[in-house]
Structure 1
């Protein structure tokens, strides 16, 4: 079983694994991310696999010395995170639709900011004050939010809004992205399902025939890497070459990755 998608901490398992593991079972407890960005790790305090954003939901399965083993509601990804990064709150009503925004202590631009938020963060709007949304965490410009269900329409345009974002292994936010994090954030912003890692994303769509031309929004995969097609000649991807989200010529990317030992293109997918 893929540990990333298996809700089993090694000691306690989710009830969905009944009959598959010899361990105590639990339905778990629901919780919500209460910090701007939380790391989801392979072990308590271990290496980062992915990240979760403010307002995202998890199911807590196990606890260990200030860490909790969780299932992410958005994609089923499992891992350990700091228990202090989780709490309770009202169900989110809106999502951050701009590349980034700030939470302010008061509804005015001169007010001290409380925290910076990434595209994709989720908030419960409990009221408004002019051009400001009032949330349990503070005030946010209304123009930076959209109601849940009011999604963007073009994943490539979402990815393009993140140009220049620094590369970060396992990153899922405007503060740092890796290749699969960029694809997932772009697709989720359009209300489309998407798993967390590039190997999982290989089965997202229809595999293109060898001579079938690529078009905007198609995904191109190498071993351990994914890029999104912008047009006939360019891709956009979070990459270690520029250490950022950047454009690259499609032919240039294929040649560079091959020359650098990354191998040949493994598959091309159309959503």
Structure 2
């Protein structure tokens, strides 16, 4: 049998994705059924428990395949990047609405009506996908009306088919966002989550974890050749080149998304861990 990455393939000893039949051993193979994230953010855990490690997050409107639902937990695989894990079932719904727009600012509120003075119902992260059914203007502010009747600031959303082009500029929007292990939202983000979400907003596919990203982007460059948009990899960490001297990264040193000198970062990290493992040009 093949040795497959459990982060990217849904298989356990007792249960596996039917598409893996013949590639893995399992007591039972099942076909997944589609569902969609129905809340602003769901945490993806390594086991069906809120105390289990959080590996990543999924945002409103992201689609998944569900392979098991039991005791309030669903074992799922994300359609966008194939990541596998456990989410609380209450955060999922059947796929019904046609999604039209995506949040294009780090965070934005949904209000009960087209009135920014009303207490917000929830907060969506950049990357959240939504269905806009209408628009309304009040006192010069244009609102997007969502399927449930709630309203968001219209210029905080963009059509799904539109992308931002420059993924580094997207990453800069997250400056000072708190660092969160496994986070990939405007409420908290980790190093590889920053790379992935920024690239997705720029219309580029990107795997989730640092090792996956280093193996995905194969165009190697030398440190002296680095320019804006290149990636610097350490074991378990990744940073984005802001220009030929500075990086932007979500990091455990400042516990934020921060900008710093690449040379100083290399010296600082080397004292505790090691030097970069490679430089890549996406």
Quote the offset at 1:9 in angstroms: 4.2
RMSD: 1.3
**In structure 1, which of residues 96, 105, 118 is the aligned counterpart of residue 112 of structure 2?**
105
Moved more, 145-154 or 124-133: 124-133
Q: Deviations over 1:148-195 (max 9, x none)?
A: 120111111101000000000000101101100111110011110111
For 1:248-267, what aligned pairs fall within 5 Å after superposition? 248-261=260-273, 263-267=274-278
- TM-score by length of structure 1 reads 0.96
Gaps of 5+ in 1: none
Q: Is the 1:9–1:69 contact (alpha carbons within 8 Å) kept by the matching residues of 2? A: no
Partner of 1:48: 54
Q: Deviations over 1:91-110 (max 9, x none)?
A: 31110001110011001111
Q: Counterparts of 1:212 and 1:259 in 2: how far apart (Å)?
A: 22
- TM-score by length of structure 2 reads 0.92
**In structure 2, which of residues 195, 205, 211 is the aligned counterpart of residue 199 of structure 1?**
211
**In structure 2, which of residues 6, 18, 21 is the aligned counterpart of residue 18 of structure 1?**
21
Partner of 2:174: 162
Partner of 2:281: 270
Q: Is the 1:9–1:62 contact (alpha carbons within 8 Å) kept by the matching residues of 2? A: no
For 1:1-271, what aligned pairs fall within 5 Å after superposition? 1-20=4-23, 21-45=25-49, 46-88=52-94, 89-130=96-137, 131-137=142-148, 138-210=150-222, 213-261=225-273, 263-271=274-282
Q: Counterparts of 1:140 and 1:10 in 2: how far apart (Å)?
A: 45
Distance 1:10 1:136, change over 3 A: farther
Distance 1:211 1:217, change over 3 A: closer
Number of equivalences: 270
Q: Counterparts of 1:142 and 1:10 in 2: how far apart (Å)?
A: 47
Q: Counterparts of 1:36 and 1:61 in 2: how far apart (Å)?
A: 22
